Structure 1
Amino acid sequence: MPTQTSAAFAGLWVPLVTPFRGGAVDHEALGALTRRLAPAGVAGFVVCGSTGEAAALDEDEQLACLATVARHAGGRPFMMGLSGYHLGATRAWVRSVSALAASQVPGLCGLLVPAPHYVRPSQDGLRAWFEGLADASALPLILYDIPYRTGAVITRETLLALAAHPNIRAVKDCGGDAGKTQALIADGRLAVLAGEDLQIFSTVALGGAGAIAASAHLHTSRFAAVLEALARSELSAARALWWPLVPLIEALFAEPNPGPLKALLAGQGMMRGELRAPLTGASTALRERLAAIDASLGHG
């Protein structure tokens, strides 16, 4: 069986939404959400990922979110998402954020970084991008392979070449290429974390390290139990836990994330359902569908 060499990046990671109230970040709600999730089987958190609407947050807001999660994570580690398309500016931001781990933000364990958006560089350009950022960072990099957001496909060969860099340790896999996923797992140098929630079961069953799953804001302990059962090779038990989650996952991504997720969390009183433009809230029909699915799953 393939082995994952980056044990630090394993298990269930939740990419936190960023709650808003009256247009400003609602740090009280963010802290409460973090505290609720921390003891529910979560290995760690992602701050300012795509689910966290990072593109709509300025740098000061991102750093404030990072500080809030650090205060409420209950000792769980967390990684910070960051992106860009100007190498020099992004390298400077990487240096600035990663330096915080040394003293100001204990628990910050890595940076989740996608390909440069809009630019669509060659594979050599992608290698130069990620290697340049990895060289600049005091923290390990987790590569975020998500071509439908960036417009750049990172090939299997490029990912395997990047795995040789000592400061590139994991990949959030949203690449949509099952062959590439399996090749990375078989290679074993990068911890492969499922980034598409419907692919959690297959990725982990094949030997992947875990998942970064927005859906796991809800019924978190059940998602964690699926991963734990798979780690024990208890496939029947894992399937029994997994299948009821599939309709929830499908509904949560039926409209742009995190609109549906925020709507359901708002219905539970955890936060307001606010998003920043150009994102919009979930439709009434989807909110009703989500509430019914959530209720059918009970507590957990």
Structure 2
Amino acid sequence: MSHFSGIWIPIITPFDGGAIDHGALHGLVRQYVEAGVSGFVALGTTGEPAALNEQEQGAVLDTILSAAAGLPVVAGVGGNHVESVLERISLLNHKPIAGILVAAPYYVRPAQVGIVDYFKAVADQSRVPVILYDIPARTGVHLELDTLLELAGHERIVAVKDCGGSLDKSLSLILDGRLQVLCGEDLDMFGALCAGAHGAISASAHLMPERFVAMAKALEEGRLSTARQLWHSLVPIVHAAFAEPNPGPIKAALSQCGRIRNELRAPMTAASDDLAARWTLILNKVVGSPAGLEQS
């Protein structure tokens, strides 16, 4: 069984003049490897995959894999046309990835029995472990507890990215123990890890990744006071990272740090001037200066 734990980064896709900035992407991945993160999610929501064509998605994944220095990389897969999703998985089967992250078919809002059939077809097609992505805010449909527990019986369905918004469901999955639970709501991360979640897939960990890693390690080692202190220092970053549609805020902050250009593809837009000013205050307070973050 693959082990998905610790702090994972759903890496952004940097752009420069409308084109993918592979140099900046490679540099970001290397920075996060050195920060001690556990792995990466490529082409997750934060990576703007809906704005990339098939060739661009493949190129982004290849850059992340080449820069990850052996750390595991999970590829995001999504859609509501089943055959297209299965074809995409067939192509990914030939990549050296650690798993795939798959959400329920969006927009069509299938019944739970249809969701079960969908994920079983995905897992049957995949040669690598499958992480279920429970994110009803984007798909329009919840993965009910009974559905998740049934899917946990499939040999290749090993984990869940939990954005379901139900503490009761999260605790039930943790207690059941068959699926590794990765918190996907950054503000819930501390409580989820305290409750026994295996880790987190955290967009806000693009900023101060070492501190996120240290917080998770302190909790794992039972150093609650240290973990709490670290978490409290990170909360302003988490709030700002989701103050406007993701990944606009993250890109604005990384741009201030000199890591990327502040550029997204339509229909996504850059963060507002007000949020950019808020980031300046946060980075100056937490790090000392954006330049300090660039070197961290």
TM-score calculated relative to the size of structure 2 = 0.96
CA-to-partner distance for each residue in 1:186-211, whole Å, 9 max, x for gaps? 01111100001001101111111000
The equivalent residue for 1:61 is: 56
The equivalent residue for 1:164 is: 153
- Kindly indicate whether the alpha-carbon contact (under 8 Å) linking 1:98 and 1:111 is maintained by their aligned counterparts in 2: no
CA-to-partner distance for each residue in 1:141-172, whole Å, 9 max, x for gaps? 10010000000111011001100100001000
The equivalent residue for 1:16 is: 11
CA-to-partner distance for each residue in 1:125-156, whole Å, 9 max, x for gaps? 00001000000001111001000000011101
The equivalent residue for 1:265 is: 254
- Kindly indicate whether the alpha-carbon contact (under 8 Å) linking 1:262 and 1:272 is maintained by their aligned counterparts in 2: yes
CA distance in 2 between counterparts of 1:234 and 1:193 reads 21
- Size of the aligned set, in residue pairs, is 289
The equivalent residue for 1:86 is: 81
SS in 2 for 1:38: helix
CA distance in 1 between counterparts of 2:233 and 2:90 reads 43
Q: What is the percent sequence identity of the aligned residues?
A: 49
CA distance in 1 between counterparts of 2:276 and 2:48 reads 20
Aligned residue identity for 1:111: I
**Which stretch has the larger CA shift, 286-295 or 181-190?**
286-295
CA distance in 2 between counterparts of 1:273 and 1:136 reads 37
The equivalent residue for 1:42 is: 37
CA-to-partner distance for each residue in 1:47-96, whole Å, 9 max, x for gaps? 10000001111111111011101111122111000101011111111111
Q: Within the alignment, does 1:209 sit opposite 2:209 as a pair?
A: no
CA distance in 2 between counterparts of 1:98 and 1:204 reads 31
CA RMSD of aligned residues (A): 1.0
Uncovered stretches (5+) of structure 2, i.e. residues with no partner:
288-292
Task: Using the TM superposition, give the Cα deviation of residue 8 of structure 1 relative to its aligned residue in structure 2, in angstroms.
Answer: 1.7
Task: Using the TM superposition, give the Cα deviation of residue 100 of structure 1 relative to its aligned residue in structure 2, in angstroms.
Answer: 2.0
Q: Within the alignment, does 1:72 sit opposite 2:61 as a pair?
A: no
Which structure has more relative contact order (CA 8 Å, sep 6+)? It is 1
Task: Using the TM superposition, give the Cα deviation of residue 291 of structure 1 relative to its aligned residue in structure 2, in angstroms.
Answer: 1.6
SS in 2 for 1:99: coil
SS in 2 for 1:51: helix
SS in 2 for 1:291: helix
CA-to-partner distance for each residue in 1:230-260, whole Å, 9 max, x for gaps? 1112111110110111111111101001001
Aligned residue identity for 2:242: F
TM-score calculated relative to the size of structure 1 = 0.95
SS in 1 for 2:56: helix
CA distance in 2 between counterparts of 1:295 and 1:73 reads 29
CA distance in 1 between counterparts of 2:281 and 2:124 reads 48
| Pairing 1:119-268 to 2, within 5 Å after superposition | 119-268=108-257
SS in 2 for 1:12: strand
CA distance in 1 between counterparts of 2:222 and 2:197 reads 13
Uncovered stretches (5+) of structure 1, i.e. residues with no partner:
1-5, 102-107
